[in-house]
Amino acid sequence: MAALRRKFGEDYQVVNTNRATTFAAPVKKKRQRFVDKNGRCNVQHGNLGGESSRYLSDLFTTLVDLKWRWNLLIFTLTYTIAWLFMASMWWTIAYIRGDIHHGHGHDPSYTPCVANVYNFPSAFLFFIETEATIGYGYRYITEKCPEGIILFLFQSLMGSIVDAFLIGCMFIKMSQPKKRAETLMFSQDAVISQRDGKLCLMFRVGNLRNSHMVSAQIRCKLIKSRQTPEGEFLPLDQCELDVGFGTGADQLFLVSPLTICHEINPKSPFFDLSQRSLMNEQFEIVVILEGIVETTGMTCQARTSYTEDEVLWGHRFLPVMSLEEGFFRVDYSQFHSTFEVPTPPYSVKEHEEKNALPSPLSTPTHTLNESHGARRDRVFSVDCINTSEDRRGGAGGRLPSKLQRMSSSGKDDLQRKVLRLSSQHSEKACSTGDLPLKLQRLSSSQGPEMANQLELKALKVGFEPMTQSTGDLYEPSLTPTLAPAPVPVYSPLLSAGRRPEDNLPAKLRRMNADR
C-alpha cells in the first residue's frame, strides 16, 4: 500500500469493490437485469402457440441447447428403446417361424432363423451382441432365413444413424465453448474518469488461460428504455457504444488484462451524463467479447453487464502488471480494485457549453476596436479649409473673374498637396510651387516677403496634426472631437484675421479696387 501511495500520490485511495464487503452507502433496491453478470440472458419466450413445432425442425440444435440432465435422459432412453424394439423384432421372426417351439428339441434336421434364440431374453442378447459387434459365437443367423438377413441390414443402418446422432450431440455438448468463457474475466464495476484529457467510461477484461483468444473483438450495447418524439415507448432500446471501432481499438490482443475505453463525446449517449444525474439514471451496459479458441478453433462468446449502480464516477483501476525477472506478472487479486482520482462532476455537454461562453474581458476590447474602426472610417476632407472663408461671406467672390478661374483650377492640386504634408507636431510650410502658375509669377516678383506669406499650416484635430493620408486621420482617444475653432490655414487666398484681398500684392489690390 505504501508503494502504491508513493506511485500514485497521497490523494488516491484504494477502494475494494468486492461485493462481499459491506458498505456504509444505502443499498439500492435490486432491479431486474437484462443480462446477468455471468452472461445469462434473463429472457423467457412464452405463448408460442403453433410455433413450438419449429424446435423439432432443428432437432439437433434443440438437443444441444438442452441441459445436461435432459441430454443424458434422452441418450439413455433412445438406446434403451432402440434395443428393445430391435430385440422384439428378432423375437417376432423366431415366433412366426416356430423357432420358439422347436428350440428345445434335438431335431438335427430343423434349421432355425437364429440359432439358440428360444425366448425374448435370448433375442435381446443376440441383438446386443450384433449391435456391439461382440460376437460370442453361440447365437448366429443362418442362411435359411431371408427375412432375418433383411432385418440384420436394417439394424446395421439404423444403429449407425442413432450412434451418429446421439454421440454427435454429446460430443458437441461437451466441446461447447461456453465453459471457455468461464476463464474470461470482466471487472465487477465500470468507472468514469479522465484519460488523455477526455472523460471516458472504462472497464477491464482479462484471460486466465495461457491459450490465446484469436481475433478477439469486443462490443458494447446500452440497454435503456426511451420514448420517441412521436410518443412511441421503446422498452429496452439498444444503442451501440463506440469502443474504438473506427480506430481498431476493439480488436484485442488479450494476453494480459486490458482496460476498454469508451470516449464520452457528442456522439455518445452519455454526453449529458453527470455525477448527479448518474444517481437517477436507469440503464444497463452489455459487454460482448468474441473470439476463436486457440486449442479447438471454435468461436467463443463471453458476456457481462453493468447497471447504473455498478458505474463508479471518479475512479480508476488499480494496475495489476509488474515486471519480474524475465517475465511480466499479473496480480489478479487487484483485478477488481479501483482508486479515486480527481474528476469533474459535470457532464461533457455542460463542460462544452461553459467553454463556449464568451469571456467578460473580451467585451471592452471589442468595443475599443469598434471605436477605432469608426474613427478610421472618418475621412476629413480638405474642404474644411474653406469653412472660414464661407463664414466670412464668401470674400473670394470679390476677386476678378480671371483670378477666380485660376483659383478654382488650382483648388484640387492644393487639396492633394495639403494631404501629403508631414504628421510632425511642428507646422510645415508649403512651397509656392503648389500654387497656380499665375500666382507663382506674382509671388516671385514680390520678393521673399511674399514667399513667407504663402506658407501653409497643417490642419489639426484637437491637438494632433492631420497631415498624412486619410487612413491616419483619427484621434487615439476614445471620443475624437474637433477643435472648437478651425485652425487658420495661411494661403495667398485665405487669411484668419483680415480679408483675403489684403494678402494680395499691391498691383492686384489696385485691380480689385478698380473693379
Distance between CA 476 and CA 375 in Å, rounded? 9
Which of 176, 208, 239 is the endpoint of a domain?
A: 176
Give dist(CA 70, CA 280) in Å, integer. 44
- For the segment 174-202, the average pLDDT, to the nearest whole number, is 91
Say how far apart CA 114 and CA 94 lie, in whole Å: 7
3-state secondary structure 305-368: EEEHHHEEECEEECCCEEECCCCEEECHHHCCCEEECCCCCCCHHHHHHHHHCCCCCHHHHHHH
Mean pLDDT, all residues of the chain: 74
- Domain CATH for 213: 2.60.40.1400
Give SS3 for 185: strand
- Of the two residues 396 and 408, the one the predictor is more confident about is 408
Is residue 3 assigned to a domain? Answer: no
Which pLDDT tens digit goes with each residue over 70-110?
999 999 999 999 999 999 999 998 888 887 777 655 567 77
C-alpha distances (whole Å) from 253 to each of 248, 257, 303 are: 11, 10, 18
CATH assignment of the domain containing 101: 1.10.287.70
What is the per-residue pLDDT across 1-31, written as a single tens digit (0 to 9) for each?
Answer: 455 444 445 444 444 545 444 444 445 566 7
Q: Are residues 90 and 161 in the same domain?
A: yes
* Residue 204 neighbours by CB under 8 Å, 6+ apart: 186, 187, 257, 258, 259, 260, 317, 335
pLDDT of residue 290: 94
Cβ partners under 8 Å of residue 40, min gap 6: none
Cell of 474: 483619427
Cell output for 349 = 455537454
Do residue 209 and residue 157 come from a single domain?
no
pLDDT of residue 334: 92
Cβ atoms 260, 176 nearer than 8 A:
no
365-379 pLDDT, tens digit each: 444 444 444 444 443
Q: Residue 331 — pLDDT band, cuts 50, 70, 90?
A: very high
Quick one: 128 and 216 in the same domain? no
**Over 90: is that where the pLDDT of 432 sits?**
no
8 A C-beta contact, residue 114 and residue 94 = yes
From 258, 256, 269, 249, select the one nearest 203 (Cα to Cα).
258
Do 151 and 232 belong together in one domain?
A: no
Q: What is the pTM of this model?
A: 0.57
Instruction: Report the alpha-carbon angle 145-151-154, nearest 5.
Output: 150
Of residues 350 and 375, which shows the higher confidence score?
350
Question: Per DSSP, what are the bridge partners of residue 238?
Answer: 223
**Cα separation, 475 vs 394, whole angstroms:** 31
Same domain, 128 and 221: no
Q: Are residues 185 and 149 in the same domain?
A: no
Question: Domain span at residue 294?
Answer: 179-354
Q: Would you say residue 462 lies in a domain?
A: no
**Are 204 and 143 found together in one domain?**
no
CA separation for the pair 308, 234 (Å, rounded): 19
Residue 278 placed within a domain: yes
Show the cell assigned to 297: 478453433
Strand 190-195 with 311-313, pairing: parallel
Residue 306 has pLDDT above 90, yes or no: yes
C-alpha cell at 40: 445469462
The residue assigned the cell 484469436 is 214
**Are 258 and 252 spatial neighbours (Cβ–Cβ below 8 Å)?**
yes
14 membership: H or E segment, kind and range: strand 14-15
Look at residue 37 and tell me whether its pLDDT is greater than 70. Answer: yes
At residue 171, the 3 state secondary structure works out as: helix
End residue of a domain, out of 126, 141, 176: 176
User: What's the longest Cα–Cα distance across the chain?
Assistant: 185
The reply to whether 7 falls in a domain is: no
Question: Measured between alpha carbons, how far is residue 205 from residues 17, 96, 110, 443, 461 in Å?
Answer: 16, 70, 77, 102, 77
Residue 138: inside a domain: yes
Q: Is the pLDDT of residue 485 over 50?
A: no
Do residues 233 and 270 lie in contact, with contact meaning Cβ atoms separated by under 8 Å?
Answer: no
In a shared domain, residues 188 and 99: no
pLDDT at 118 over 70: yes
pLDDT tens-digit series, residues 220-250: 999 999 999 999 999 999 999 999 988 999 9
**Count: domains in the chain:** 2
Helix 68-97 vs helix 120-131: crossing angle, to nearest 10: 120
pLDDT more than 70, % of the chain: 63
Which pLDDT belongs to residue 474? 40
Identify the residue whose cell numbers are 478453433.
Answer: 297
pLDDT of residue 467: 40
pLDDT for the residue 463:
39
Residue 341 belongs to a domain = yes
Asked whether residue 167 falls in the same domain as residue 184, the answer is no
Q: How many CB atoms lie within 10 A of CB 157?
A: 9
Residue 502 has a pLDDT of 63
Please tell me the number of Cα atoms within 13 Å of 419 on its side-chain side: 17
Cα–Cα nearest to 65, from 53, 75, 55: 55
Pairing state between β 258-263 and 184-186? unpaired
Domain co-membership, 156 together with 235: no
Report the distance separating Cα 184 and Cα 209, nearest Å. Answer: 8
Rounded CA-CA distance 422/354 in Å is 51
Give the mean model confidence (pLDDT) for residues 440-467.
43
* Residues 83 and 94 occupy one common structural domain: yes
CA gyration radius, the chain = 53
Per-residue pLDDT at 177 exceeds 70: yes
| Within a domain: 480 | no
Residues 163 and 205 in one domain: no
Residue 137 has pLDDT above 50, yes or no: yes
Q: Which of 354, 371, 406 is the last residue of a domain?
A: 354
d(Cα 274, Cα 311) in Å, to the nearest integer? 12
**HEC secondary structure over 69-109:** HHHHHHHHHHHHHHHHHHHHHHHHHHHHHCCCCCCCCCCCC
297 falls within a domain: yes
Distance (Å, whole) CA 215 – CA 331: 25
Distance between CA 97 and CA 118 in Å, rounded? 12
Q: Are 423 and 465 in contact (CB under 8 A)?
A: yes
> Rounded to whole angstroms, how far apart are CA atoms 305 and 288?
9
Rounded Cα distance between 189 and 19, Å, is: 10
Grid cell, residue 70, equals 435432459
Q: How far is Cα 410 from Cα 417, in angstroms, rounded to an integer?
A: 11
